[in-house]
Amino acid sequence: MAGQQTDQVQPEHQGWSAQDVMAQLRQKAAMLGFSQIGVADVDLSSAEPAFMDWLSRGFHGEMHYMASHGLKRARPAELVPGTVRVITARMNYLPANVPPGWQGIEWERMARPEAATVSMYARGRDYHKVLRARLQKLADELALIIGPFGHRVFTDSAPVMEVELASRSGLGWRGKHTLLLSREAGSTFFLGEIFVDVALPLTEPETAHCGACTACIDICPTQAIVGEKLVDARRCISYLTIEHGGPIPEALRPQMGNRIYGCDDCQLACPWNKFAQRASVPDFDVRPALDGPSLLDLWAWDEARFLRLTEGSPIRRIGFARWQRNIAVAMGNALQALSGGNTTPDAQAQARRIQGALQAWLQAPPAGTDVDLVGEHVRWALSRMAPA
């Protein structure tokens, strides 16, 4: 294993009992900002058939990496030879200053066509950077307790069945929207893992508590949740705005509304998120540039400004062209909602401003963008303007 030696070691070799080690590790994890940790076994064979069926149905879309690693995703000991346990961890990401009733604030934002909606998890620092660094520190703390051991840390960065491992280790259960749910924290948290060659004691799995609720399935704007615990990524707005590289299917554009990066609808509708917890680290505080911007505010960015204002953010990885593509779709939806004879004079004035910005783009596309990709969405957006 990467990190240190590969021989399996037992916690007791330094005089600690396995229970003592876990107690110490939980304390260290809390100090690092993690809200909970668990330990899972590496036998995920019972999850393999469902995963392979999901792939065979093409539900992964253009996420070819999902298929390229084959069953290594369900076999941690093959992904990282020597692994005998997986330490799982979750970290809350709701910004500390988010007020009570935050779900209502988000619904209200999405109801304003001219506003821009960015998924809440993406308004601060890139979680990959935050969790990876803190998971490594947690591994270092474990080494101080038990001595050298082999390990690798992951957070949404390798073929790892994160939700499966987290649910088996007691961090929560897989909801019908496929996200992990916790009775103490809803679903507003990130997951990370440390693959280890230490036979730590397993933690008990959590039972499911969704019952007959289908709120997440019912609310999905594009009906991407095609069955309980089954998502067709090709219809998911998070996939379309982040992972998908080409033109967004026209049939799905109207359902995207003003969501320009990710989608939180299934989480906003979930009753368990009344227990969502605030982050204990400042990394996920909202950046000023993403604190309630309008579509026109963001459309005015050039590539240099995009790169500067998204430095260290997960948004930066989609690139400027996809960013503009997504905003163009939202502006088209705004034009349809704000224009026409049945709307107010203020709404019509907003529509004309959006129309003017789109037309100006066509006349002089900014440097660094993909003229063909973005231009196609700009022309579609302009076609949504209703006659006065």
Q: Which residues are catalytic?
A: 156
Cα 206 to Cα 211: distance, rounded to the nearest angstrom: 14
Structure token digits, residue 237: 């707005």
Cα 321 to Cα 334: distance, rounded to the nearest angstrom: 20
List the helix and strand counts (H, then E) for the chain.
Answer: 15, 10
Residue with tokens 């997951």: 191
Q: Which residues pair with 174 in a beta bridge?
A: 180
Residue with tokens 């400027």: 320
Cα 276 to Cα 263: distance, rounded to the nearest angstrom: 17
| Beta strands, E only, 8-77 | 36-40
Residue in 277, 261, 265 with CA at minimum distance from that of residue 329: 261
Sign of the CA dihedral running 344, 346, 352, 354 = negative
Cα 222 to Cα 264: distance, rounded to the nearest angstrom: 13
How many C-alpha atoms does 76 have within 13 Å on its Cβ side? 28
Sign of the CA dihedral running 7, 12, 16, 22 = positive
CB distance 142 to 293 below 8 Å: no
Residue in 242, 247, 25, 61 with CA at minimum distance from that of residue 137: 25
Cα 171 to Cα 206: distance, rounded to the nearest angstrom: 7
Question: What single-letter DSSP state applies at residue 275?
Answer: G
CB distance 48 to 82 below 8 Å: no
